Every structure is written in structure tokens, then in C-alpha cells.
């Protein structure tokens, strides 16, 4: 849980150092997908609730935006991960891209419902899609660090420590 809180706070405050063309990788989303692959959708959804609450409190959005998006993505990623051979790095990266794009799409739809005057398609093209690529790009490094910090052997099959 400490890892989730730290990632959410870093995402909300200090991550601007690695901003490229206005886009940041989504660390809480990476944690949600990591736990969806390793421990299933329940742990991913719990991670999404904690990370989403911290992000909602730390940023200027209404309470629940990040929570809803991360919980839905965590559930879907967990269900999809049970049907895939999720040990291959390309599968993990593909799942992260899909989850990141879906998270951005849901978040943009919620914003559009609340503020119909925003340019939804422009937001998707300018920040959601590049953000999904950037998050996917850092996936191998973050997953490797998570495996090492949580004392899992990345060479062993899922569920085997």
C-alpha cells in the first residue's frame, strides 16, 4: 500500500521532471496493471481505489474521477490477464497500452459529460494516445523494479515466488 501511495503522490507532484511534449507516464496505472497480472483483478481494483483517491485529493478534479477509471481498468486488466500468457514482455506492454488508452478514454468521457465545451477528440489525440505510448515505453523498467522490490523472481511463472 505504501508503494501505491508513493506512486500516486509522485504522479501528482514530482513527475514533471520527465515530461516529454506535455505527456507523462501513468505510474498508478502501471501499478494497477502490474497487480492485475500478478495477483488478479481484486488486488488491481483495490490498488485503483487507493491510487485514485490519492490522485483525486492531490489534483483539482472532483472526487471519484481517477477512482472510477482505475477501478474499471483494474477489473478489465485482471480479467484479460487471466486469459493471456502474461509472462511475455510484449503481452505486458500491450496490456498496459490498452489499459492506459482505456483509462484516458473513460476519463475524457467523464470530463466531456461534465463540461461539454471541452475538445474531447483533441484531448485524446494530444495527450491520451501519446501518454499511452509513453506509459507503455516505461513498462519494462517499472515492472522489473516492482518484481525486484516485491521480491518476485521475474523468470519464474506468475504466482511462483
Over residues 68-113, the pLDDT tens digits come to 999 999 999 999 998 988 788 899 999 999 999 999 999 999 988 8
Is the confidence at residue 6, as pLDDT, over 50? Answer: yes
What pLDDT does residue 100 have? Answer: 96
Q: What is the pLDDT of residue 75?
A: 97
For 8-38, letters b (16+ CB in 10 Å) and e give: bbebbeeeeeeeeeebbbbbbbbbbbbbbbb
Residue 158 resides in a domain: no
pLDDT for 80: 93
**Number of domains the chain contains:** 1
Q: What is the pLDDT confidence band of residue 18, given thresholds at 50, 70 and 90?
A: confident
In a domain, 66, yes or no: yes
pLDDT score for 99: 97
- Structural domain containing residue 76: 2-14+23-149
Inside any domain, residue 159:
no
DSSP assignment of 83-94, as one string? TS-TTSHHHHHH
Is residue 43 included in any domain, yes or no? yes
Tell which wins on pLDDT, 74 or 17: 74
Residue 55 lies in a domain: yes
**Is the full-model pTM beyond 0.75?**
yes
Round to the nearest angstrom and report the end-to-end CA distance of the chain: 20
Selection from 48, 69, 154, 57 nearest residue 111 by Cα? 69
Give domain status of residue 32, yes or no.
Answer: yes
The predicted-structure confidence for 122-157, as pLDDT tens digits, reads as follows: 888 888 999 999 999 999 999 999 999 887 665 555
- The DSSP symbol for 113 reads H
CATH code assigned at 81: 1.10.1760
**45 domain-assigned:** yes
- 3-state SS, residue 115: coil
> What pLDDT is attached to residue 44?
96
Q: Tens digits of per-residue pLDDT, 46-71? A: 999 999 998 888 887 888 899 999 99
Assess contact for 55 and 8: CB atoms under 8 A. Answer: yes
The verdict on residue 156 lying in a domain is no
Give the list of residues 6+ apart from residue 139 with CB closer than 8 angstroms, or none. Answer: 30, 92, 93, 96
Amino acid at each position: 500500500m505504501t508503494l501505491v501511495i508513493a506512486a500516486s503522490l509522485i504522479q501528482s507532484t514530482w513527475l514533471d521532471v520527465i515530461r516529454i511534449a506535455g505527456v507523462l507516464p501513468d505510474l498508478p496505472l502501471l501499478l494497477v496493471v502490474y497487480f492485475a497480472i500478478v495477483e488478479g483483478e481484486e488486488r488491481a481494483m483495490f490498488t485503483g481505489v487507493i491510487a485514485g483517491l490519492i490522485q483525486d485529493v492531490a489534483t483539482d478534479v472532483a472526487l471519484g474521477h481517477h477512482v472510477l477509471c482505475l477501478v474499471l481498468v483494474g477489473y478489465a486488466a485482471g480479467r484479460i490477464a487471466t486469459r493471456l500468457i502474461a509472462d511475455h514482455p510484449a503481452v505486458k506492454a500491450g496490456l498496459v497500452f490498452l489499459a492506459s488508452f482505456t483509462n484516458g478514454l473513460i476519463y475524457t468521457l467523464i470530463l466531456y459529460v461534465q463540461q461539454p465545451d471541452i475538445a474531447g477528440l483533441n484531448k485524446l489525440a494530444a495527450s491520451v494516445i501519446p501518454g499511452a505510448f509513453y506509459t507503455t515505453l516505461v513498462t519494462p523498467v517499472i515492472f522489473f523494479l516492482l518484481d525486484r522490490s516485491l521480491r518476485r523472481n521475474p523468470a519464474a511463472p506468475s504466482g511462483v515466488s
